[in-house]
Amino acid sequence: MLASMYSSISGMKNHQQMLDVTSNNIANVNTYGYKKGRATFKDMISQQIQGATAPGDDMGGSNPMQVGLGTQMGSIDTVHTQGSLQNTGRSLDLGISGDGFFRVGDGTNDFYTRAGNFYLDQDGNMVNSDGYYVLDDSDNGAQINIPVDAQSFSIGSDGTVSYTDVDGDTQEAGTIGLTNFANPGGLEKNGSNLYTESVNSGDAQFGGAGENGTGEIVPGTLEMSNVDLSEEFTAMIKAQRGFQANTRGITTADEVLQELMNLKR
């Protein structure tokens, strides 16, 4: 009876984590560039009751008898599927159609993001909403600066940032870089729509749009979250019913134990 209780407890814990992942997805349904999470389970070690036997001259073989001891979290994946691009018409809003990440940094650390809502600071540097500099396509990652006295500027699908100076001549401020990884699912989430490289993501591959398997930049758009509410509400129902079923397992085991206690009155 105790084994069944502990198995149900492990099921409750994991379905609670599944519910946490699902609730976080729903909370970020309108977060630009957000990639949904997915919880998967795997069974725990099984107790061996009887081992398998091989066929003999007089008898056939028999299969092993094992009792499972519960479930555990198999993985919490980040699903990097493409989100839909929403047209904003704003020059500094950039979406990525395809793979890749924008690279931003603070001069010491590099971060990666799919959220392309960028801004200009008072010095004309391109930054994200937290003030991290948007970096170009070079390996060192230089800042991109548009002079404050520029008459106008534009960003091309290859990431080239051009502006018109005070003399009316067209100049290039740099090229916004896109970074790719061999295993994007291995990136670590740092909050604020930012990812960092991990030991299992592979090395960052820097370049322009269309290089190293990256997609193209779509100016005047922002990538929406790839969360599908219908899927998330279905996953929420699954988590809720799974949690309830495991609580029923505990109450049933408790009732059986109660009956055993009542044998001696």
Query: What are 176-234's pLDDT values in tens digits?
Result: 999 999 999 999 999 999 999 999 999 999 999 989 999 999 999 999 999 999 999 99
Residue 10 lies in a domain: yes
Is 59 a domain residue?
no
Q: What is the mean pLDDT of residues 111-126?
A: 96
Asked if the structure places residue 62 within a domain, the reply is no
Q: Does 214 share its domain with 93?
A: yes
What are the CA-CA distances from residue 183 to residues 25, 133, 199, 201, 205 (Å)?
A: 21, 25, 10, 5, 11
Rounded Cα–Cα distance for residues 4 and 168 (Å): 78
Considering the domain architecture, whether residues 213 and 127 belong to the same structural domain is answered as yes
* Domain co-membership, 139 together with 179: yes
Q: Which of these, 38, 82, 84, lies nearest to 232 by C-alpha position?
A: 38
Q: Which residues pair with 143 in a beta bridge?
A: 135
Residue 221 bridge partners (DSSP): 87
For the chain, how far is it from start to end, CA to CA, in angstroms? Answer: 21
Count Cβ atoms below 10 Å from residue 115 Cβ, excluding itself: 24
pTM, entire model: 0.88
Same domain for 13 and 75: yes
Claim to verify: residue 211 and residue 243 sit in the same structural domain: no
| Residue 186 contacts residue 246 (beta carbons within 8 Å) | no
CB 169: neighbour CB atoms within 10 A? 8
Residue 54 domain flag: no
Tokens of 30: 């309108």
Is the same domain home to 95 and 192? Answer: yes
Amino acid at 241: R
Number of domains in the chain: 2
Residue 22 within a domain: yes
Distance CA 255, CA 7 (A): 16
Buried b (16+ CB within 10 A) or exposed e, 28-58: beeebbbbbbebebeeeeeeeeeeeeeeeee
Express each pLDDT in 151-177 by its tens digit.
Answer: 999 999 999 999 999 988 999 999 999
Radius of gyration of the chain (CA): 27
* Any domain includes 182: yes
Q: Which residue has the tokens 């979250």?
A: 225
Q: Which residues pair with 197 in a beta bridge?
A: none
- Domain limits for position 231: 2-44+69-80+227-261
Structure confidence by residue, pLDDT tens digits, 47-77: 889 999 999 888 999 999 989 899 999 999 9
Same domain, yes or no: 122 and 166: yes
Domain contains 64: no
Domain shared by 25 and 96, yes or no: no
Are residue 213 and residue 200 in the same domain, yes or no? Answer: yes
Position 143 in a domain: yes
Clarify whether residues 117 and 239 are in a common domain.
Answer: no
Q: Are residues 243 and 175 in the same domain?
A: no
